[in-house]
Amino acid sequence: MNSPLVNLIVFVLGGALAALVFWPGRGLFARGRRNRRLANRVALEDALKHVYNHEVREDACTLSSVAGALGVSSTRAVTLVDRMQRGGLLRLVDGRLLLTDDGRRYALEVVRAHRLWERYLADETGVDPVEWHERAEKEEHALSAEAANALAARLGHPRFDPHGDPIPTADGAVGAEPGVPLAELAPGQHGVLTHLEDEPPVVFAQLVAMGLYVGMEVRMDARSEQRIVFDADGRKIVLAPILASNVSVRRLQEPVVTPDEMATLAVLKPGESADVVRVSPACRGLERRRLMDLGIVAGTRVMYERPGLTGGLCAYRVRDTLIALREEQASMIGVTNIHRAGSPDRAGHKREPAQS
Amino acid sequence: MSHERTTTGTGLAASPCAGCQHHVGNLVKLGVNMERFDYVVALAGNPNTGKSTVFNSITGLRQHTGNWPGKTVARAEGGFALGDRRFKLVDLPGTYSLLSTTVDEEIARNFILFARPDVTVVVVDASHLERNLNLALQVLEITDRAVVCLNLVDEARRHGREIDHRRLARDLGVPVVPTVARSRKGIDELLETIAGVATGEIVCRPHRLERRSRGVQQVVEGLSTEIAAAFPGLSNVRWLALRLLDGDTYIEEALRSGELVELAGNGVPVAQGTALQVLERAHELRWEIGPDFQDSLTEDLYAEAARLADRSTAIDGKRRAFDLDRAIDNLVTSRRFGLPLMIAVLTAVFWLTVTGANYPSGLLASVLIDRAQPLLHHLATAIHTPAWLAGFLIDGVYLATAWVVSVMLPPMAIFFPLFTLLEDFGYLARVSFNLDGMFKRAGAHGKQALTMSMGFGCNAAGVVATRIIDSPRERLIAIITNNFALCNGRWPTQILIATIFIGALAPARIAGLVSAGAVVAVALLGITMTFGVSWLLSRTILRGEPSSFSLELPPYRPPRFWHTLYTSIIDRTLIVLWRAVVFAAPAGAVIWLSGNVHVAGSSVAEHLIHLLNPVGILIGLNGVIMLAYVVAIPANEIVIPTVLMLTAMTAGAAGAGAGVMFEFESAADVRNLLAAGGWTVLTGINIMLFSLLHNPCSTTIYTIYRETRSRKWTTVATVLPLALGFAVCFLVAQVWRLLAG
């Protein structure tokens, strides 16, 4: 038998080796899998998508931009583009790459798969918003057109991906991207966020971290060269212009409940009640359906009855039933008309300024 | 009156099945056998409305429970007779709504839609009328034969609410029968009404929602008209239109396959093209209804439910609703008393289980093992059974089974009813509420506190109990980590080994305290493992699984003692016991054979021990223990008897004979035998650790597979604790040896 010390060392080394190989996402095993992404078809589809994106944005796409976007050498890019030209997917006009009709159809299929998958991740899984794009980047190559159609049917034929980009239909029709840049909203104007650009991922992650989501109702407070300030969900949000340029917005008429009258359930104190205005669009899928089934819909009066013992969880009385909600859930429920219980009668919805 | 009796008198129709509408083919598909029954009645309702009380007071003990075909959702069915008509009653899963896509709601919805029960009874809690009417309205959209059972009217009165059930019946267009199911008040009238609706004597004109948001209203009307034109004879076109607009794949498929049309039963075959045309149209219209369509459906339903509830409820302003509930909650969720009270209650439950089980366990053991086993041997000798056969059957199969029954049955028969009583009273939901913060930090659900506690009784039962967690990710976490709750079958091992090896290290007067402390430390290590592994799982392999949180704190209700006792013994104890016996019997055979079949001069067991010894020694155990854990996979209860038998065999000490499990009366005898087998303090510590951290017993593994329907998760749940056990024991052994020199 070995000495214990040797055994321990062997154990630690073995454990470290196993972690090195199998660590999710970063281990050798995962890396190896990722490297296979450089397979030809994947590169071809990524190149098509790249050309398509340039076409939508109406700027020129060149051989070097393809090489840059795919992260391959220009030699490899040349081979790739040549192959695509011979396959009738691309044409070269004055040094600019353009899609043929076949190429556009193919590109749209990939885009459709990508956006549908993002929609699926948002609605039916618990995957973090920051990961949607990256995961869809992989899945778009694996999802066949039939599988994409089946997925679309299962999701109730969604029209937009969770970033607000239109999902091309099976026939290749693609709606217009709605909205104008956030900065075009004049101070005092109301709007609803329609699109959060998912590239570059760092910027998107920052927008998510600041609590922005598609469907968020905002009111412009002030805008300048240095910063853009707006009210939403009962708080003030300050964005740098570089971040704001990745956010689109649709103008709204004055909403029934303005942002300063609106707060979230999470700000209530024990004994206070409030009327639900809406469940935030950022709350999706299973979670959203569950909340609504429990009777948390617009117009429901909710009373904060008691805090939990171990933090985060609070009990609310909703339609005579005691329901415990976690803090993250409570902060997804927009409310207005906060008041102490007992003061107003059941019928008279006396309006008081909301606290935030 | 929108419902009325069309015929008078006794109403005994010529055919026993007058006016029945159920679909026999679909019933069979859904696992309901209609032989010997004339009518089928479905029971729907929200959770916590006393639905199962209604079910029990209608069927009495004539009921049996099982699962829905292919699903891990429990189902109960029973029967009752009224005059010469026989009714089958099917209990649907308790749901808040029928709009979502959870398994429970799918089952309830599909049963009402496709099996077309002759009557659907919606149980409604009178003190939460508004919330319950939401479901009732949805049921009325699908079927037009329904009865509303307005249950718990006494409780509503206590909360100062008086419901005008006649007005409610007029508004809903279906009969409303007030009941107090606990005391059977109103049940007879309910049965009469069910019979009336089933035979068609009472005609329902169910209230269907008209008020929809303006833009949507037009679209829905348009599509409804088209469906009605394409499929004459369908009674719930508006509902179908809504489902199609909502993109309900189930309904789309039923329309495409012609199943829906067949249900309408007018015999006119519909061309495939018509269905596709309607689907196409629905698809187009979907672009016109806006993104908030789903929300507005729920909002409309709740608005209508609130309106109807308001119209029929009179509130006595003097009585404040739910005062007593508040008072109890103030105590059990208070910062000062909440946690101590919880620890006291749970300790009391465990103490009652452990001490209460001692006597019946001893009694069973003395009858089944001390008396019956020798008796069986005498019998075998008397009828000249060959010795090997008698040994195989009596010392192998019978002994293992008897052992498992005598050790397992009493604690479970005490633990489960106690637990169910606390659950029915409403206390356990408060335990989840109090502890959720801790579980949340580990990425788990507060209800896992309950499934974990249940695991201290039996891991298999704990795994089944995870059904109360309705979020897929958190449920998987609870299933995989349940094995870290030290179950009943492992406590005796812990206590015995702690007494022999740990207690003996301390001075005699505190030996008991020290060994008890060691056992508690192992149990606490299990709880720590639960949190640690939950945390790891939620952040690695389970990261993308869908997750949601909901926890209802039901109103406190006095539990029904005898009923709980009966159902928890039938539903939980006997089922688990049966599974254990099924696995224990073959294990007994294997144990006996391994000790008695000889190859090349020594028994199979000795060969295996020799083979496993190096691995065992490496992790601070030995070959005997390794082998015992392999053959004792069926039940942790037989690990120690097997260890003793194998040790006696290899050490050449006195035992009960090769392949015959046994236990000593005194701990000193056990110590002497184990010392002869080469055990040290390290072996003792490591067997305690390994007993906590090893694969679940085969009953639990099987249960995990049944609950998850996934080989992957079953494998993870099996291998993960085993790997942890090896790692921990290995580290302890090496460090121990390093320090001991």
Counting residues of chain B whose pLDDT is more than 70, the rounded percentage is 93
Closest CB to B249 among A11, A154, A159: A154
What average pLDDT does the segment B465-487 reach? 91
The size of the A-B interface in CB pairs under 8 A is 173
Q: B553 vs A315: CB contact, 8 Å cut-off?
A: yes
Given a cut of 60, whether residue B143 has pLDDT beyond it is yes
What average pLDDT does the segment B535-557 reach? 85
The reported pLDDT for the residue numbered B481 is 95
**Cis peptide upstream of residue A166 (ω within 30 degrees of 0):** no
Q: B436 vs A125: CB contact, 8 Å cut-off?
A: no
Given a cut of 90, whether residue B347 has pLDDT beyond it is no
Which residue of chain A comes nearest to B727, CA vs CA? A11
Query: Each residue of A79-100: pLDDT tens digit?
Result: 888 888 888 888 888 778 888 8
Residue A150 identity: A
Place of tokens 């199911």: B181
Query: Each residue of B40-53: pLDDT tens digit?
Result: 999 999 988 888 88
| pLDDT: which is higher, B62 or B108 | B108
Q: Which of B302, B331, B336 to mutate to test the interface with A (most CBs of A within 10 A)?
A: B302
| pLDDT: which is higher, A199 or B697 | B697
The reported pLDDT for the residue numbered A346 is 42
The reported pLDDT for the residue numbered B719 is 94
Mean pLDDT is highest, among A141-150, B257-266, B439-448, for B439-448
Q: Which of A5, A319, A327 to mutate to test the interface with B (most CBs of B within 10 A)?
A: A319
Given a cut of 90, whether residue A67 has pLDDT beyond it is no
What average pLDDT does the segment B249-274 reach? 72
Nearest to B633 by CA among B723, B702, B704: B702
Nearest to B542 by CA among B481, B482, B483, B474: B474
Closest CB to A309 among B325, B338, B552: B338
Q: Quick one: CA torsion of B415, B416, B417, B418, rounded to 10 degrees?
A: 50
Query: Residue B122 — pLDDT band, cuts 50, 70, 90?
Result: very high
Query: Residue B190 — pLDDT band, cuts 50, 70, 90?
Result: very high
Which residue of chain B comes nearest to A297, CA vs CA? B299
CB atoms within 10 A of CB B179: 26
Nearest to B343 by CA among B351, B17, B719, A191: B351
Query: Residue B475 — pLDDT band, cuts 50, 70, 90?
Result: very high
Cα A200 from Cα A299, distance rounded (Å): 39
Q: B437 vs A310: CB contact, 8 Å cut-off?
A: yes
Closest CB to A309 among B96, B339, B618: B339
Question: Torsion-angle region of residue A120: left (phi > 0), alpha (psi -120 to 50) or beta?
Answer: alpha
Residues 6 or more apart in contact with residue A315 via CB below 8 angstroms: A304, A305, A306, A307, A308, A322, A323, A324, B329, B333, B433, B553
Q: A153 vs B247: CB contact, 8 Å cut-off?
A: yes
Q: A4 vs B733: CB contact, 8 Å cut-off?
A: yes
What average pLDDT does the segment B454-473 reach? 88
Given a cut of 90, whether residue B666 has pLDDT beyond it is no
Cα B339 from Cα B349, distance rounded (Å): 15
Given a cut of 60, whether residue B13 has pLDDT beyond it is no
Given a cut of 50, whether residue B451 has pLDDT beyond it is yes
User: String of b and e for A195-216 (b: at least 16 CB within 10 Å)?
Assistant: bbbbeeeebbbbbbeeebbbbb
Query: What residues does B74 pair with on adjacent strands?
Result: B67
Q: B548 vs A287: CB contact, 8 Å cut-off?
A: yes
Query: Residue A37 — pLDDT band, cuts 50, 70, 90?
Result: low
Query: Residue B2 — pLDDT band, cuts 50, 70, 90?
Result: very low
E strands, B24-97, in order: 39-45, 63-67, 74-82, 85-91
Asked if residues B442 and B538 have their Cβ atoms less than 8 Å apart, the reply is: yes
Question: How many DSSP H helices and E strands does chain A contain?
Answer: 12, 14
Which residue of chain B comes nearest to A160, CA vs CA? B291
Nearest to B200 by CA among B420, B457, B4, B476: B4
Which residue of chain B comes nearest to A125, CA vs CA? B546
Cα B741 from Cα B733, distance rounded (Å): 12
Given a cut of 80, whether residue A210 has pLDDT beyond it is yes
Query: Residue A345 — pLDDT band, cuts 50, 70, 90?
Result: very low
What average pLDDT does the segment B657-668 reach? 75
The reported pLDDT for the residue numbered B5 is 43
Separation in Å, CA B312 to CA A120, B146, B302:
43, 19, 15
The pair of three-digit structure tokens given for residue A304, joined into one six-digit string: 């904060």
Q: Which of A322, A326, A329 to mutate to test the interface with B (most CBs of B within 10 A)?
A: A322
DSSP assignment, residue A297? Answer: -
Given a cut of 90, whether residue B150 has pLDDT beyond it is yes
Q: A173: buried, middle or exposed (CB in 10 Å: 19+, 13-18, 0-12)?
A: exposed
Residues in chain A: 356
What average pLDDT does the segment B83-110 reach? 87
Given a cut of 50, whether residue A273 has pLDDT beyond it is yes
Q: B551 vs A324: CB contact, 8 Å cut-off?
A: yes
Given a cut of 50, whether residue A355 has pLDDT beyond it is no
Given a cut of 50, whether residue A39 has pLDDT beyond it is yes
**How far A319 CA lies from chain B's nearest CA (Å)?**
6
Cα B492 from Cα B632, distance rounded (Å): 15
Nearest to B732 by CA among B695, B687, B671, B696: B687
Given a cut of 50, whether residue A352 has pLDDT beyond it is no
Half-sphere exposure of A292 (CA within 13 A, CB side): 30
The reported pLDDT for the residue numbered A35 is 63
The pair of three-digit structure tokens given for residue A77, joined into one six-digit string: 């890019």
Asked if residues B738 and A9 have their Cβ atoms less than 8 Å apart, the reply is: no
DSSP assignment, residue B93? Answer: P
Residue A102 dihedral angles phi and psi, to the nearest 5°: -60, -40
Cα A165 from Cα A195, distance rounded (Å): 7
Q: SS3 for B657?
A: coil
The pair of three-digit structure tokens given for residue A280, joined into one six-digit string: 């935030």
What average pLDDT does the segment B705-725 reach? 93
| Set of chain A residues whose Cβ sits within 8 Å of the Cβ of B729 | none
The pair of three-digit structure tokens given for residue B67, joined into one six-digit string: 């699962």
E strands, B635-692, in order: none
Using H for helix, E for strand and C for coil, what is the string for B491-558? HHHHHHHHHHHHHHHCCHHHHHHHHHHHHHHHHHHHHHHHHHHHHHHHHCCCCCCCCCCCEEECCCCC
What average pLDDT does the segment A17-27 reach? 77
What average pLDDT does the segment A155-168 reach? 84
**How far A192 CA lies from chain B's nearest CA (Å)?**
13
| Set of chain B residues whose Cβ sits within 8 Å of the Cβ of A116 | none
Q: A11 vs B738: CB contact, 8 Å cut-off?
A: no
Alpha helices in chain A, H assignment, sequence order? 4-22, 28-35, 40-57, 63-70, 74-86, 101-124, 129-142, 145-154, 201-209, 241-244, 285-293, 327-330
Closest CB to B97 among A293, A309, A313: A293
Query: Residue B602 — pLDDT band, cuts 50, 70, 90?
Result: confident
Residue B189 identity: E
Query: Each residue of B518-537: pLDDT tens digit?
Result: 999 999 999 999 999 999 99
| Set of chain A residues whose Cβ sits within 8 Å of the Cβ of B437 | 308-313
Q: Average pLDDT over chain B, rounded to whole? A: 85
**How far A57 CA lies from chain B's nearest CA (Å)?**
26
Q: In what order do the strands lie in the sheet with B85-91?
A: B63-67, B74-82, B85-91, B39-45, B119-125, B146-151, B176-178
Mean pLDDT is highest, among B32-36, B132-136, B396-400, B641-645, for B132-136
Cα B432 from Cα B551, distance rounded (Å): 8
Residue A238 identity: V
Asked if residues A103 and A84 have their Cβ atoms less than 8 Å apart, the reply is: yes
The pair of three-digit structure tokens given for residue B594, joined into one six-digit string: 């391994």
Q: Which of B299, B301, B330 to mutate to test the interface with A (most CBs of A within 10 A)?
A: B299
Q: A290 vs B547: CB contact, 8 Å cut-off?
A: no
| Set of chain A residues whose Cβ sits within 8 Å of the Cβ of B326 | 305
The reported pLDDT for the residue numbered A29 is 76
Q: Roughly how many angstroms between the first and final C-alpha of chain B, as a whole number?
A: 92
The reported pLDDT for the residue numbered B730 is 93
What average pLDDT does the segment B277-288 reach? 80
| pLDDT: which is higher, A255 or B140 | B140
| Set of chain A residues whose Cβ sits within 8 Å of the Cβ of B102 | 286
**How far B148 CA lies from chain A's nearest CA (Å)?**
20
User: Whole-prediction pTM value?
Assistant: 0.82
What average pLDDT does the segment B626-636 reach? 86
Asked if residues B456 and A332 have their Cβ atoms less than 8 Å apart, the reply is: no
Which residue of chain B comes nearest to A127, CA vs CA? B544
What average pLDDT does the segment B317-332 reach? 79
What average pLDDT does the segment B82-107 reach? 87
Which residue of chain B comes nearest to A6, CA vs CA? B734
Q: What is the sign, positive or negative, of the torsion defined by CA atoms of A28, A32, A33, A37? A: positive
Closest CB to B302 among A153, A291, A295: A295
Cα A333 from Cα A353, distance rounded (Å): 18
Query: Residue B32 — pLDDT band, cuts 50, 70, 90?
Result: confident
| Set of chain B residues whose Cβ sits within 8 Å of the Cβ of A315 | 329, 333, 433, 553
The reported pLDDT for the residue numbered B466 is 92
The reported pLDDT for the residue numbered B542 is 83
